[in-house]
Structure 1
Amino acid sequence: MRPPFLPFILCLSLFLATGPARAGLTLNQAEALWRQHSRELKLAAVAVEAAAADQVTAGQRQNPDLALNTLAISPWSGYRSGGWERKKMDTVLRVEQLIERGGKRELRQRSADERLAAARFAAEDLGRLQLLDLRGAYFDLRLSQERLRLAQETAALYRRSVEAGQLRKKAGDIAPVDLARLQIDLARAETELRAAQAERERAQQALAYLIGREAEAGELQAADDWPLPTAAELQGASLDARPDLAAARRRVAAAEAERELARARRTRDVTVGMQYEHNLQNAPTNSYGFGVSVPLFIWHEYEGEIARAEADLNTARLQFEQLQAQVGGEVAVARSALLAARDRLRRIEDGLLADARRVADAAELAYRRGAMGLLDLLDARRTQRQVEVEALNARADYARAWAAWTLQANYQNQNNASGTKP
Structure 2
Amino acid sequence: MPYSAVCLIAIVSFLEIMWSALPAVADSDVVQFKLEEVIEMALNRSPAMSAAKGGVRQIEGERMAAGAYPNPSFSAVFGPGKTRESLGDISFFERTLTLSQPIETPGIRQARQRGAEAALAGSQAAVGEARLSVLSDVKVAFYQLLLAQRDVELTMQARILVQDLFRGIKARVDAGQARPFEAIKANVELQTVSNELSRAQNSLVAVRARLDALTAGGLGSEFSVQGDFQAPRNTFNRHEMISSALEHHPTVQRLDKMIEKAEQQAVQERKSVVPLVTVSGTYKQEAAESAYLAQLSIPIPLWYRRQGEIAAALGAKERTEAERVRAQNEIATSITEQVQEARTAVQQIDVFEKGLLKQAEEAVWIARISYQQGATGLLDLIDAQRVHRQTLFQYTQARAAFSVALARLERWTGALQ
For the aligned pair, the TM-score class normalised by the smaller chain equals: 0.7 to 0.9
Question: Cα–Cα, structure 1 residues 23 and 412, in superposed 2: closer, same or farther, change >3 Å?
Answer: closer
Letter in 1 for 2:63: Q
Q: Which residue number in structure 1 is paired with residue 110 of structure 2?
A: 106
Q: Is the Cα contact below 8 Å between 1:59 and 1:105 reproduced in 2?
A: yes
The 2-side partners of 1:157 and 1:107 are apart by 75
User: What's the CA shift string for 1:2-43, capped at 9, x where partnerless?
Assistant: xxxxxxxxxxxxxxxxxx996742222322333333332122
SS at match of 1:138: helix
Give the superposition deviation at 1:349. 3.0
The 1-side partners of 2:317 and 2:84 are apart by 61
Letter in 1 for 2:131: G
Q: Is the Cα contact below 8 Å between 2:104 and 2:277 reproduced in 1?
A: yes
Q: Is the Cα contact below 8 Å between 1:205 and 1:214 reproduced in 2?
A: no
Question: Cα–Cα, structure 1 residues 188 and 77, in superposed 2: closer, same or farther, change >3 Å?
Answer: farther
The 2-side partners of 1:327 and 1:233 are apart by 16
Question: Cα–Cα, structure 1 residues 297 and 212, in superposed 2: closer, same or farther, change >3 Å?
Answer: closer
Moved more, 400-409 or 320-329: 400-409
User: What's the CA shift string for 1:337-384, capped at 9, x where partnerless?
Assistant: 211111112112322222122212321332233221122223223322
2:37 to 22, 25, 29: 29
Q: Is the Cα contact below 8 Å between 1:278 and 1:287 reproduced in 2?
A: yes
SS at match of 1:395: helix
Give the superposition deviation at 1:72. 8.0
- The answer to whether residue 361 in structure 2 is matched with residue 354 in structure 1 is no
Moved more, 46-55 or 22-31: 22-31
Question: Cα–Cα, structure 1 residues 90 and 354, in superposed 2: closer, same or farther, change >3 Å?
Answer: farther
- The answer to whether residue 245 in structure 2 is matched with residue 225 in structure 1 is no
Q: Matches of residues 107-256 of structure 1 in structure 2 within 5 Å?
A: 107-212=111-216, 214=218, 216-219=220-223, 221-232=224-235, 234=237, 236-237=240-241, 238-239=244-245, 240-256=247-263
Moved more, 257-266 or 22-31: 22-31
Q: Is the Cα contact below 8 Å between 1:102 and 1:267 reproduced in 2?
A: no
Give the superposition deviation at 1:90. 4.0
User: What's the CA shift string for 1:155-185, capped at 9, x where partnerless?
Assistant: 1111112111210111223332332222122
Q: Is the Cα contact below 8 Å between 1:138 and 1:222 reproduced in 2?
A: yes
The 2-side partners of 1:274 and 1:194 are apart by 86
Moved more, 133-142 or 328-337: 328-337
Letter in 2 for 1:300: Y
The 2-side partners of 1:412 and 1:391 are apart by 25
The 1-side partners of 2:388 and 2:349 are apart by 16
The 2-side partners of 1:165 and 1:310 are apart by 80
2:268 to 261, 267, 285: 261
SS at match of 2:415: helix
User: What's the CA shift string for 1:193-245, capped at 9, x where partnerless?
Assistant: 223223223333322333355364413x3221121113545472112121111
Letter in 2 for 1:108: R
Gapped runs of 5+ residues in structure 1?
A: 1-19, 79-85, 414-422
Give the superposition deviation at 1:289. 2.4
Q: Which residue number in structure 1 is paired with residue 20 of structure 2?
A: none
How many residue pairs were aligned? 382
Letter in 1 for 2:267: E
The 1-side partners of 2:44 and 2:218 are apart by 14
Q: Is the Cα contact below 8 Å between 1:114 and 1:251 reproduced in 2?
A: yes
- The answer to whether residue 74 in structure 2 is matched with residue 66 in structure 1 is yes
The 2-side partners of 1:301 and 1:232 are apart by 59
Gapped runs of 5+ residues in structure 2?
A: 1-27
Give the superposition deviation at 1:70. 4.7
Question: Cα–Cα, structure 1 residues 287 and 143, in superposed 2: closer, same or farther, change >3 Å?
Answer: same
The 2-side partners of 1:242 and 1:277 are apart by 63
2:283 to 272, 276, 280: 276
1:387 to 381, 388, 391: 391
User: What's the CA shift string for 1:73-129, capped at 9, x where partnerless?
Assistant: 99x999xxxxxxx98664433222111113100000000100110111011011101
The 1-side partners of 2:147 and 2:137 are apart by 15
Q: Matches of residues 7-86 of structure 1 in structure 2 within 5 Å?
A: 24-70=32-78
Q: Which residue number in structure 1 is paired with residue 325 of structure 2?
A: 321
Moved more, 399-408 or 181-190: 399-408
Moved more, 336-345 or 170-179: 170-179
Letter in 1 for 2:253: A
Paired-residue identity, %: 23
User: What's the CA shift string for 1:363-412, capped at 9, x where partnerless?
Assistant: 13322332211222232233223222222211110111122335666738
The 1-side partners of 2:313 and 2:349 are apart by 53
The 1-side partners of 2:91 and 2:203 are apart by 88
Letter in 2 for 1:66: F
Letter in 1 for 2:232: P
Q: Is the Cα contact below 8 Å between 2:367 and 2:381 reproduced in 1?
A: yes
Q: Is the Cα contact below 8 Å between 2:133 and 2:411 reproduced in 1?
A: no
User: What's the CA shift string for 1:292-318, capped at 9, x where partnerless?
Assistant: 111122211111111111111111222
